[in-house]
Structure 1
Amino acid sequence: LEDNRNPQPTKASVCAIRKVTFTLFDRESVLRNVCTGCDTTKSSSFFKKPSFKMPNSNRLATHAGSWYTDSGAELNRQLNGWLNDADLTFGPARAIIAPHAGYRYCGACGAWAYRQISPAVVKRVFILGPSHHVRLSRCALSAVQYCNTPLYNLKVDQQINQQLESTGHFKWMDQKTDEDEHSIEMHLPYVAKVMEDYKDQFTIVPVMVGSITNEWEETYGKIFAPYLADPQNLFVISSDFCHWGQRFRYTYYEEGSGPIYKWIETLDKMGMDLIETLKADSFSEYLRKYNNTICGRHPIGVLMQAVEELKRRGHRMSFKFLKYDQSNQCCDKKDSSVSYASGSLIFE
């Protein structure tokens, strides 16, 4: 569902806005096929407990060589460049929101979130990403021991997995489901790069977040809240923003809003402003009103619920978006684009 087929952004000066009728498709259909990215033709590939031992199992970097380079040297050069171009303005981050499309589209944007991380204090990285290929009504854990990247392999934290499993609210991904999903994998090289000076001193906790209800977002938020409160933990929330165009079955546009790409930006930034308030109900109401096709809406919701739980316990936090971009500037109803945003959560 990421916009890896679009041409380079079109200049606004050549845009010709045509008077067309834009429609908002059935909400549930849109959410199944875009927001969570779920291909409903595929059956679920989850199990309650690992039915096999995988002491030496590695999750392969299945999107290397296509969504990003499989050359460690080239990847290191690219990540260095993007991180050097980003500014450290809102850190040290306890959690970030960053995109998960092909690096040619969102690599530079994602760097603004990763630039806010202070790697010296991080011992564990939780990575929460949506499911794009299978139906999932809860959250699922990775059963592998390591996740491969072209830089180096990242160790999965089995102790934390056991703690989460003990709540009774988590399923397990089989390896194929794990390797098919890109929303978590696209963050692994960035995590590896930012943490390279401490690569033997941290672990990761990949979590696939399904198409869960607001009530389940609250439940998972309460589960993750104690981990978020620990300054040695970092949360990476994987999400792209508006998927606009007929191929995404979302062409909502308010007449008189100017060029389509400007309307998309307005729509996205309404949601981003609400995320910055850290009020989960306000963000949920925005999604109900506009049905914006934010594929990581549920991982974001879980983070916001965790923040609200910690606020009730007296913690003070702030969130700020630092970068916004689009894969393409839509000027016509036949165009399409995916939006990207990067932000940072800090404790005060």
Structure 2
Amino acid sequence: MAVRGASHAGSWYNSNGRELNRQLEHWLGEAVLSHGPAKAIISPHAGYQYCGACAAYAFRQISPILVKKIFILGPSHHYRMSGCGLSTVTRFATPLYDLTIDQQIYKELLATKQFEQLPVGVDENEHSLEMQLPYIAKVMEDFKDQFTIIPVMVGSLSAAKEELYGDIFAKYLTDPTAVFVISSDFCHWGSRFNYTFFDKSMGPQIYECITSLDRLGMDVIEQLDASGFHKYLRKYSNTICGRHPIAVLLHAVAALKKQQQCPPMSLKFLKYAQSSKCQHASDSSVSYASASLIFE
């Protein structure tokens, strides 16, 4: 049984299980349960010293007693692909305990011929999926042998492919035992990210403009508007690294609405933060936002 190692532990988050547990417990205790039980969440994936407290607001909305399957959709930062990829291991390691991949659902996804299988090295090099794992392990600790994960690495998808994958995942979104974790940071601002958008009408300081820019995108996502999200990205080119996983979720919602197979839904952003407050052109920052989607 091949295991994907916790390759970013010790650098992006604490590799000591006891310390990590204490840290996650603290952040979850500070977060408020206000929009649950979640069917899907959007959670950031930077180092925990930057986004751990923000991510807790998303994971706090999950009701673990209801959950048997956790889909994790995260962007591919280093490996170029125009579709989505699945792991070739059977378990993902965390400093808390290992998480087991749902091989039956993997078989179903592979049967669509729309997923490639990823080498272990590619898997371990990517942080967007891994940064969700300790929180999943913590939230699900009382049911650690009663759930599986379905990690999916999402490439640079065309609008048509975002819709295609949305259609594929829609049926799983209606599964009462399934939750989706969408891994995404928001605006990456600064010359090192090749993105220095600044409109003073959106805020006199750079960090205020970034906030307004992110809020515009978050408002569109809250409206569950896939085409509106595409228009927003075309207009502002905001460097939301998980834009493709977010769009897949929005298209899954759209597919369910088209099929008239779901109750009313509501998505709300619960927490927003920035790694630093940019005030000068030489500054840089990354934004983080946590959201929860519920069936009403």
Q: If the length of structure 1 is used for normalisation, what is the TM-score?
A: 0.84
Matches of 2:98 and 2:204, distance apart in 1? 47
Q: Which residue of 2 aligns with 1:299?
A: 245
Matches of 1:153 and 1:311, distance apart in 2? 36
Query: Is there any run of 5+ residues in structure 1 with no aligned partner, and where?
Result: 1-55
User: Is the radius of gyration larger for structure 1 or structure 2?
Assistant: 1
1:339 to 280, 287, 292: 287
SS class of match (2:221): helix
- Report the residue type matching 2:284 in the other structure: S
| 1:222 CA drift (Å) | 0.4
Contact 2:269 2:291 in 1 (8 A): yes
Runs of 4+ residues over 2 Å off in structure 1: none
Matches of 1:228 and 1:175, distance apart in 2? 27
Per-residue Cα deviation, 1:95-152 (whole angstroms, up to 9, x for no partner): 0000000000000000000000000010000000000011110000011010000000
- Report the residue type matching 2:248 in the other structure: V
Per-residue Cα deviation, 1:280-325 (whole angstroms, up to 9, x for no partner): 0000000000000000000000000000111123222110000000
Structure 1 position 260 matched with structure 2 position 206: yes
SS class of match (2:200): coil
Q: Which residue of 2 aligns with 1:323?
A: 271
Contact 2:157 2:244 in 1 (8 A): yes
Q: Which residue of 2 aligns with 1:271?
A: 217
**Aligned-pair Cα RMSD in Å:** 0.6
Structure 1 position 129 matched with structure 2 position 68: no
1:158 to 103, 115, 119: 103
Structure 1 position 221 matched with structure 2 position 169: no
| 1:70 CA drift (Å) | 0.3
SS class of match (1:96): strand
Q: If the length of structure 2 is used for normalisation, what is the TM-score?
A: 0.98
Q: Within 5 A, what are the aligned runs for 1:173-322? A: 173-256=118-201, 257-314=203-260, 315=262, 316-322=264-270
SS class of match (1:284): helix
| 1:343 CA drift (Å) | 0.3
Count of equivalent residues: 293
Structure 1 position 79 matched with structure 2 position 24: yes
Matches of 1:284 and 1:190, distance apart in 2? 29
Matches of 1:337 and 1:146, distance apart in 2? 33
Contact 2:200 2:209 in 1 (8 A): no
Q: Share of identical aligned residues, percent?
A: 61
Q: Which residue of 2 aligns with 1:167?
A: 112
- Report the residue type matching 1:205 in the other structure: I
Query: Is there any run of 5+ residues in structure 2 with no aligned partner, and where?
Result: none
- Report the residue type matching 2:229 in the other structure: F
- Report the residue type matching 2:269 in the other structure: F
